[in-house]
Amino acid sequence: MTTSSAPGKVYLFGEHAVVYGEPAVPCAIERRARVTVEPRDDHRLRVRAKDLTLDGFTVTWGGDADDRPDVNVPTPLVEAAMGYIDGAVEQARDAADAPEAGFDITVESDIPLGAGLGSSAAVVVAGIDAATRALGTDLTSEELADRAYQVEHEVQDGEASRADTFCSAMGGAVRVQGDDCRRLADPPNLPFVIGYDGGTGDTGELVAGVRALKEEYGFAADTVEAIGDIVRNGEVALRNGDIEELGRLMDFNHGLLSALGVSARTLDTMVWAAREADALGAKLTGAGGGGCIVALDRTEQTHTALEYTPGCEEAFRAELDTEGVKAEPES
């Protein structure tokens, strides 16, 4: 058996705007997806997915089109999860020149599924790494990031950016603008606090909604560009270690994302709870529509406030994870 893990992420700035060529700065967090693969004697694929935060269900399926799990969860979410795993396997087969390779795969994750914390990117990155290593092929982190992006791009109907997959593969804080992806050197200690409403957003639908607004209204296009300006100012604050300025910019970024229609009442409620607890800044993270917010707070006040906020199902601290994808020892 071969096991790899990869981290989830939060966006300091730039989600949605990154789809249109603006920069974004995601940061890896110390919550991981782990993928274990064991080669089979045939070409079939069997997957067991555990701990995906959808009422603890377990999914097992084969590689046939009509062999799909029967579970009481939203079908698009399950189909997307299966698409990510299937895509990761195809990338591994291609990289190792082993088109008929079959696998037994187990997926375990600490990252809420569909919550804006990069669960799909982490599973894809870890899956490609584990499967290629099981087939005797080693890929660089950059190669893994590129292949994982190809999977997300296909599953998300061409609307994905390289941000999530690059961040998960490389770890730390990264800057992504189109195909220009790089790791940021020596980011300060970022006191992340995350609030999770237990929900999920439909990434494709939310991205399509922003695209429609941008095409119809000039001020919506200006809003997307303004998010890019926030990112550029945020990069300066990161270099200077100015956490207070980062927080102020996060507040601006959330307001612009709300104007683009991708927030939700629960997300806004958690953001305001964090601000009223004197967080340095707070915003939604990821596609929106439900899921998570991220705040900066050196104290325990935001964490405590979120625990008592209606609609917040879980609140937790998340350290910056400086490691990206990595091999895990056999258990």
Are the C-beta atoms of 10 and 317 separated by less than 8 Å?
no
d(CA 46, CA 102): 8
Are the C-beta atoms of 121 and 287 separated by less than 8 Å?
no
- DSSP letter (8 states) at residue 178: T
Are the C-beta atoms of 128 and 148 separated by less than 8 Å?
yes
The amino acid at 73: V
- The sign of the dihedral angle between the CA atoms of 328, 199, 311, 244 is positive
The amino acid at 188: P
d(CA 2, CA 171): 21
Exactly one of 110, 146, 164, 197 is catalytic; name it.
164
Spacing of C-alpha 126 from chain mean position? 13
Among 151, 159, 168, 152, which residue's Cα sits nearest to residue 27?
A: 168
- Strand ranges (E), 1-140: 2-13, 25-40, 45-50, 59-61, 102-109
Residues with Cβ within 8 Å of residue 101, at least 6 apart in sequence: 39, 43, 89, 92, 93, 131, 135
* Active-site annotation holds for 164: yes
What is the secondary structure of 213-236 as a DSSP string?
Answer: HHHH-HHHHHHHHHHHHHHHHHHH
Residues with Cβ within 8 Å of residue 236, at least 6 apart in sequence: none
DSSP bridge partners of 195: 293, 315
d(CA 304, CA 299): 10
Mind telling me the catalytic residues? 164
